[in-house]
A = this chain, B = another copy of it.
Amino acid sequence: MPIPFNRPHLTGKEAHYMYDAVYEGKLSGNGKYTQLCQRFFEEYYGFGKCLLTTSCTDALEMAALLVDIQPGDEVIMPSYTFVSTANAFILRGANIRFCDSRSEEPNINAELIEELITPRTKAIVPVHYAGVACDMERIMALAAKYNLWVVEDAAQAIDSYYTFSDGTQKALGSIGHLAAFSFHETKNIISGEGGMLAVNDECFKARAEIIWEKGTNRSSFFRGEVDKYGWVDIGSSFLPSEIIAAFLWAQLEHLEQIQQCRKAIWQAYYDGLQEWAVRHGIGLPIIPPYASNNAHMFYLICQSLEQRTALIEHLKKNRILAVFHYLSLHKSPFYAPRHDGRELPNSDRYSDCLVRLPMYYGLEVEQVVEELIKF
């Protein structure tokens, strides 16, 4: 496919840093590059303690362990999201209360959350779709009112911001008590597979490190805080290899350049398709006034499944790969029998009508725009 949906971008120094990690004698987790990456995120975006993980899924699983999900606890999240948002909590025994998306864009409709809260509700998991912020001010207020944890699924939301009504701006992932990021190859900043947990609430910081280190107090030991280390809690091996962290560090050194390039592509799509979209009744991305745009994704919202299928086919014939995205989780084979029966029409509409256009560093966006305009 001459224009694939995604093409991983190397900044040039990935292999160099990987070799450097070998010369340091350290390829397993939590070495120099892991710490460089973690410190960068803490300082650049104001996240709390950052811990690299092998995937965003794993970061969400750490969050589910930290907020201490017990069988029967309820978690509120959008239905239009990736399976891992839900699975991470289901593995700990949670029931999911799926919430519909906004009509303007695929993010969770924060106005519908309060009616889903029950005495069993433990957490809200807003997913920043396409890197565009959910209405975090409203969600954090609800969490405060009902004493709930907020876990931001910021898989797509690196380098994106939310502006509060008083004008203050905070990076996505720094607002909830916990936040999970992805560095999967389709993201802005990549390490193939990879992720990170941002631990913003002080109360989770010590235990997060233990759970990350397989339930041991190994990190305290290396800081000299305890004189031997052992098994003190449940946990898993959430640390990625230093090879992954070294790769990620090479990406982070070029963060601004990558973001500039992606934003230019996004804008070229937007400017090039505006007129055409109106003519065909196709929706372009809407960025709410409180949100920034990190150019993670450029999507179209077709009028129907048929129109979307025709559009994808048209591009495919011209050797351009555009792809649809999630299927509503409340209608999945796994969760449909467990769902409470509510209709979630916006989620279903995005399942049927949303299509993502190619988006990667170095994309010749004009070619895609040209082919679309012929549709």
- Interface residues, chain A, with chain B CB atoms under 8 Å away: 4, 6-8, 10, 14-15, 18-19, 21-22, 25-29, 54-58, 61, 82-84, 86-88, 90-91, 184-186, 190-194, 214-216, 228, 230-237, 239-244, 247, 327, 329, 332-335
Contact = CB atoms under 8 A, between A and B. Distances in A.
A332 B231 contact: yes
**DSSP majority for the A interface?**
loop
B58 A237 contact: yes
Nearest to A90: B234
Nearest to A336: B231
Given A28-B184, A216-B83, A333 B22 contact: no
A308 to B, nearest CB: 14
A4 B332 CA distance: 52
Q: In the assembly, how many copies of this chain are there?
A: 2
Contacts of A230: 327, 332-334
A83 B228 CA distance: 15
Given A8-B27, A333-B230, A235 B87 contact: yes
A8 to B, nearest CB: 5
Contact of A25 (B8, B14, B57, B216): B8
Contacts of A193: 27-29, 54, 237, 239-241
A191 B54 CA distance: 13
A83 B214 contact: yes
B27 A214 contact: no
